[in-house]
Amino acid sequence: EAGVAQSPRYKIIEKRQSVAFWCNPISGHATLYWYQQILGQGPKLLIQFQNNGVVDDSQLPKDRFSAERLKGVDSTLKIQPAKLEDSAVYLCASSLSGSRDNEQFFGPGTRLTVL
Amino acid sequence: GDSVTQMEGPVTLSEEAFLTINCTYTATGYPSLFWYVQYPGEGLQLLLKATKADDKGSNKGFEATYRKETTSFHLEKGSVQVSDSAVYFCALSTGGGNKLTFGTGTQLKVEL
């Protein structure tokens, strides 16, 4: 069974530029998550989708970050404009449902460096 | 708010040594507790979990017991191998949803 796919794996941009990350979850998984992992910290949930609807985006900096999951399958996370503090690994995860204790499967992540 | 505190690393052990990585939590309600592992170059993967007090999660020789009285979920393994070298994250979820709150991670290095 294919795992969660993410691209690109690495991205380097200048501050104030925009960037987009793509995620393809495991087939059949209704719930998709985006996490931000800053160096030396644990992953922090940015946004959670159930199919194509947002369940939780309370920690998403909405002035610069946006995410969509238009057809309830793959998802895109965008940052515009980027700041130095956005340098982090962006992790996508998926689970069969959003019910508590449903195992989340993580992709390899996209490492973003903002110069 | 919910939080997880785990011991800082890196932890360096010789092969076949006993491992303990401490994890304590603060949460409203009754959380479920997890250990995730990240091997070099790979994504996070679930190692074990426990969903109620006194439950013991176990997998691949690792164990952790949900201790409500001490709000802890310490990870243990009796005899580590070089292949166990990785970063270990303690996490919790509360409420009806599946949002995970992670600790900062503990890097384990096992040497021959």
Work out the minimum CA distance from B79 to partner chain A, whole angstroms.
26
pLDDT in tens, B51-71: 999 999 999 999 999 999 999
Q: Give the pLDDT band of residue B41 (cuts 50, 70, 90).
A: confident
Say whether residue A38 is in contact with chain B using an 8 A CB cutoff: no
The residue length of chain A stands at 115
Say whether residue B46 is in contact with chain A using an 8 A CB cutoff: yes
Of A102, A48, A98, A45, which is closest to residue B97 (Cα–Cα)? Answer: A98
Average pLDDT over residues B62-88: 97
pLDDT in tens, A30-87: 999 999 999 989 999 999 999 989 999 999 999 999 999 988 899 999 999 999 999 9
Q: Which of A48, A98, A101 sits opposite B32 (nearest CB)?
A: A101
Contact B89 A43 (CB under 8 A): yes
Q: Give the pLDDT band of residue A13 (cuts 50, 70, 90).
A: very high
Contacts of A66 (CB under 8 A, 6+ apart): A77, A78, A80
**pLDDT at residue A94 greater than cutoff 70:** yes
Q: Which of A4, A100, A105 sits opposite B97 (nearest CB)?
A: A100
Q: Count the neighbouring beta carbons within 10 Å of the beta carbon of residue B70.
A: 8
Q: Give the pLDDT band of residue A96 (cuts 50, 70, 90).
A: very high
pLDDT in tens, B18-31: 999 999 999 988 89
Q: Would you state the pLDDT for residue A85?
A: 96
Q: Give the pLDDT band of residue B43 (cuts 50, 70, 90).
A: confident
Work out the minimum CA distance from B24 to partner chain A, whole angstroms.
14
Q: Give the pLDDT band of residue B42 (cuts 50, 70, 90).
A: confident
Q: State the Cα–Cα distance between residues A113 and A13, nearest whole angstrom.
A: 6
Q: Would you state the pLDDT for residue B55?
A: 96
**pLDDT at residue B96 greater than cutoff 80:** no
The beta-carbon contacts of A26-29 under 8 Å, at least 24 apart in sequence, are: A26/A1, A26/A2, A26/A94, A26/A105, A27/A1, A27/A2, A28/A96, A29/A94, A29/A95, A29/A96, A29/A105
Q: Would you state the pLDDT for residue B60?
A: 95
Work out the minimum CA distance from A105 to partner chain B, whole angstroms.
7
Residue pair B58/B34 in contact (Cβ under 8 Å)? The answer is no
Q: Give the pLDDT band of residue B34 (cuts 50, 70, 90).
A: very high
Q: Would you state the pLDDT for residue B11?
A: 96
Collect all residues of chain B within an 8 Å Cβ-Cβ radius of residue A39.
Answer: none
**pLDDT at residue A1 greater than cutoff 70:** no
Q: Would you state the pLDDT for residue A86?
A: 97
Q: Give the pLDDT band of residue A101 (cuts 50, 70, 90).
A: confident
Collect all residues of chain A within an 8 Å Cβ-Cβ radius of residue B105.
Answer: 41-42
Of A34, A47, A26, which is closest to residue A96 (Cα–Cα)? Answer: A26
**pLDDT at residue B95 greater than cutoff 80:** no
Q: How many Cα neighbours within 13 Å face the side chain of B101?
A: 20
Q: How many CB pairs under 8 A join A and B?
A: 64
Burial class, B85, CB count within 10 angstroms (exposed 0-12 / middle 13-18 / buried 19+): middle
Residue pair A90/A108 in contact (Cβ under 8 Å)? The answer is no
